[in-house]
Amino acid sequence: MPPKNQPTFARRLVLSYYRVSSDEQHKEGYSISSQMKLVQKYALENNLKIAEEFTDIETAKQSGRTNFGKMVARFQEHAKFSADTTLTLLVEKTDRLYRNIKDWVILDELDLEIHFVKEGQTLSKESKSSDKFIHGIKVLMAKNYVDNLAEETRKGMLEKAEQGHYPTRGPLGYCNMRRNGKSLIEPDSNAPFVANLFKKFATGNYTLNSLYEEMAKDYPILNTKGKLIARSAMHRVLGNTVYYGVYEFKGNKYVGKHQALISKELYDMVQRTFSDHYNLKTRNTKKEWLFQGLVLCENCGSLFTMEMKKGKYIYYHCTNSKKNCSVVNVREERIEEQAVALLSDIALPDDLLPLVIKALKESEKDVHDHQVKKRLDCEGQYQNLKAKLRLLYDDRLEGRISVDFYENTKAQLRFEQGELEQKMLNLTKAGYNYLDEGVKVIELAKNAGITYRNANLSQKRILLRFLLQNFSFGAGRLTPKWRQPFDLLPLMTKEWADKTEAKSPENAFCPLEHPHRESNPGLRTENPSS
């Protein structure tokens, strides 16, 4: 419900936002019209006058949302000229507003009053830090679910790679097919031209430019859109090992079961020609440092760099120190000691855990609903492919299509069916341990210090990257900039301690009125949302 004593219309800008994916548009409860009806009724009942409505009908694969960006710009423009106006956003529920963590961060920086109509929740800068954190956890876990879905997809691709089957869409000269239940790549009509590229370049009589010009004139290679391939694409082709039967996936090389277009000897000749023409050199990978790319200079904002002294002591200093920055060298042990101490700031109070578990269960229901919707969509696409296969078979029996066209089209449709089967399996796996994963995130925050001490260098860096955007160092002190929603935990811990000390159990949490309070004596904590 809207807060009491809300401003008049003249001092409140109210916008509404609606979103639906194109494949969900026809489903009951997710149409734009049903969202509008619910939000407009809420606005009328709560005396909120909607100034403008924004709608996006897009798929999750598209990179941006046109009207979401326009809505944000409208809020930003209004805030410049009317600082005393309450910026209010009405939306059906959480998953209609955010697609990822970036959306959440963008809106959080605007200090909006957001009404989630269907969920009965209102968030604003006056909301308790506990409410903000629980909301942030729900967004974070939704992102975690998407990441799990991607991880299951990668696992399936890795399994294919290990079995000798090219795991992704075939490169130029190959097409994807499905035979005997397996996804394969087979040479297509471009294969002879690709092989000819290698043969010509290996002679040493061509540069990339001259070979491309001849290819474009005499034997053009077209991409899937029917256009001539780019010069950069031809360069990638000549460096791709898949054409002699070996491919690389996730840093490992595999011997493929697909038909090679060239020999290993021809490939090596091409690489030697490249080396002779362009004098290519390989660069050695630099050693990984614990706080590499993580520490900024508090004085000038430059990154810290590292150097080894006496063969064993690691020192960090500002990259601007030789010019005008006065920050002196600091030992890695000193930075790490403060970093470990700061990790205790995000230990979640035990009494708050039941509220977080409740929020996770609510998010788990949203994930389940998403799985059901997506699975129904996949099953619908699968049935459409079955219908196409039946029609294709009838056309073949009636002699309306050739045998080659029938076999190629059937293989492609079977391949698409296999992709849908894998997608449905991934949907099931990704959300299976959703609540457990959420609890692990909370436990990670609670036990971050212990986890850090027991981790190796690489694991420590992963943990720090997960929890923090960066550190800043100055005047001998390390200041963290936590990632959302972990930035709220130091405040919650401090507020909880203040409440316990004051023995005032009637107030579980104080409103977020003091965003700059220090959460650890001697170690400053920066709150990015303040």
**Which pLDDT belongs to residue 39?**
95
Instruction: Locate all alpha helices (DSSP H) within 319-402, ordered by sequence.
Output: 332-343, 353-397
- Predicted model pTM: 0.46
Per-residue tokens: 385: 């492919």
**DSSP letter for each residue of 113-155:** EEEETTTTEEE-TTSBHHHHHHHHHHHHHHHHHHHHHHHHHHH
Measured CA to CA, the distance from residue 94 to residue 142 in angstroms comes to 10
Which has the higher per-residue pLDDT, 80 or 296? 296
**Token pair 């460096």: residue:** 239
Return the minimum-mean-pLDDT range out of 19-28, 33-42, 278-287.
278-287
pLDDT band at 72 (very low <50, low <70, confident <90, very high): very high
User: Using an 8 Å Cβ cutoff, are 19 and 68 in contact?
Assistant: yes
pLDDT band at 26 (very low <50, low <70, confident <90, very high): very low
CATH superfamily of 9-126: Resolvase, N-terminal catalytic domain (3.40.50.1390)
Segment 11-22 mean pLDDT:
85
For residue 115, what are the contacts with CB-CB under 8 A and spacing of at least 6? 2, 42, 48, 88, 89, 90, 91, 121, 122
**Which pLDDT belongs to residue 117?**
92
Return the minimum-mean-pLDDT range out of 191-200, 273-282, 373-382.
273-282
**Which pLDDT belongs to residue 499?**
59
User: Using an 8 Å Cβ cutoff, are 158 and 247 in contact?
Assistant: no
Return the minimum-mean-pLDDT range out of 188-192, 234-238, 264-268.
188-192
First to last CA, the chain: 24
For residue 147, what are the contacts with CB-CB under 8 A and spacing of at least 6? none
**Which pLDDT belongs to residue 363?**
67
Segment 488-501 mean pLDDT:
66
Q: Which fold has domain 174-278?
A: Hect, E3 ligase catalytic domain fold (3.90.1750)
Domain coordinates of the chain in residue numbers? 9-126, 174-278, 295-340
Segment 23-43 mean pLDDT:
74
Q: In what order do the strands lie in the sheet with 86-91?
A: 50-57, 12-20, 86-91, 113-116, 121-123
Segment 150-179 mean pLDDT:
80
Minimal CA–CA distance to 354: which of 237, 506, 508? 508
pLDDT band at 29 (very low <50, low <70, confident <90, very high): very low
Please say if the pLDDT value at position 92 is more than 80. Answer: yes
Per-residue tokens: 423: 């997608």
Measured CA to CA, the distance from residue 478 to residue 263 in angstroms comes to 57
Share of the chain above pLDDT 90, in %: 11
The residues pairing with 113 across neighbouring beta strands, listed in sequence order, are 88
Segment 126-144 mean pLDDT:
75
Please say if the pLDDT value at position 403 is more than 80. Answer: yes
Segment 384-400 mean pLDDT:
89
